[in-house]
Structure 1
């Protein structure tokens, strides 16, 4: 579905930079060939710009559409977790259905009811009704250096990923130290602040977690 592609490009920073086919593929868990085909269709609809060997970015039209989808999706996720006490990892699919049935009026009412949350339970910023959103980290956990101390800031909105990270007991806001990158697309070894045992985070998951460096 094209909306899923627009949302993942938005999440990966496609409003401000070029996003690679590989990152979209990892984020959606879809083969690179399928990504190329859909990106071509989005470009035909003037929702993205695709520069071969450089990457993909959202057009103003694509960004407006994506921000609207993301806003409604994340408001529902926040409602489901905060008010209906859904599990952290289980809200994505429910919100996926609800976002498409949500009018702008309902989104505004939901935002008011929730007292204008800034981020969803997975750390993703919630755009305003006008489509504005603050700049967020675009740095992946996979790109952190060995020995670096970082804070997990947000997770890509993917049910499989969120279930996996919940099993590892990782949440946005956790402070971790990067121990080492295992070679040949092996796991990233990290250690949570105050924990004794290291945690192995898969190669794919480490490309779906955004961080900020601790100062």
Structure 2
């Protein structure tokens, strides 16, 4: 299904599901009703529709989880929202209390090409103004340097799988490092630690742990990485 055939209403539901369950967590109907300001009965009907479309798995009285396709759409719209908030605040100097609403209005019509241009202008940001991680783009690059080197947007391909940053993981996870985001200085710091695309990674989640640093196992070697690195190293899970 192409992006222009997906309604704003569906994108809003998937965005809220991603915000509450980006790593496969089940999100309750009650939580969705609260976040969306919609009656539980209406939410239930929409969840059934989203399951029929293949975007979620829905369990009555328990909640919903995103499918791979639903995750792809949810990450894309969430990324556009958060990068727009950053753009509105840092570049256009819109009042902080107004940026969320304006980003909500703009996210559904922002083209992929414009999103890429904004990302480059902002030097590949990792956090929105509320300090939530900006999801990775879905372009088929291993780093922002590769993206910047491709000047012709018509030649840019889309990635076929979804990614999560290390800092987004909420359970013990094994995956493959598939994208590293950041400017030249950050990429150099990550490279100096011996971290690169294609390496296997294991992460043991510790609930309520401090998030100043993350302990990961890469190629059977334990490494302590900063929160900034964890926000910008993405794995295919």
Distance 1:105 1:133 in 2: 22
Q: Is the Cα–Cα contact under 8 Å of residues 125 and 133 in structure 1 kept in the other structure?
A: no
1:119 aligns with 2:151: no
Give the count of matched residue pairs.
Answer: 143
Residues 59 and 7 of structure 1: CA distance in aligned 2, closer, same or farther (over 3 Å): same
More helix by percentage: 2
TM-score, length basis structure 2: 0.56
Matches within 5 A, 1:138-157: none
Q: CA deviation at 1:110?
A: 0.6
Runs of 4+ in 1 over 3 A off after TM superposition: 211-215
1:136 aligns with 2:168: yes
Matches within 5 A, 1:39-78: 39-78=47-86
TM-score, length basis structure 1: 0.61
Partner of residue 171, structure 1: none
Q: Deviations over 1:95-140 (max 9, x none)?
A: 12221221111111111100111111122211111253324377xx
Matches within 5 A, 1:1-215: 1-130=9-138, 131-134=162-165, 135-136=167-168
Unaligned runs of 5+ in 2: 1-8, 139-161, 171-206, 212-237
RMSD: 2.1
The answer to which structure, 1 or 2, has the higher relative contact order (CA under 8 A, 6+ apart) is 1
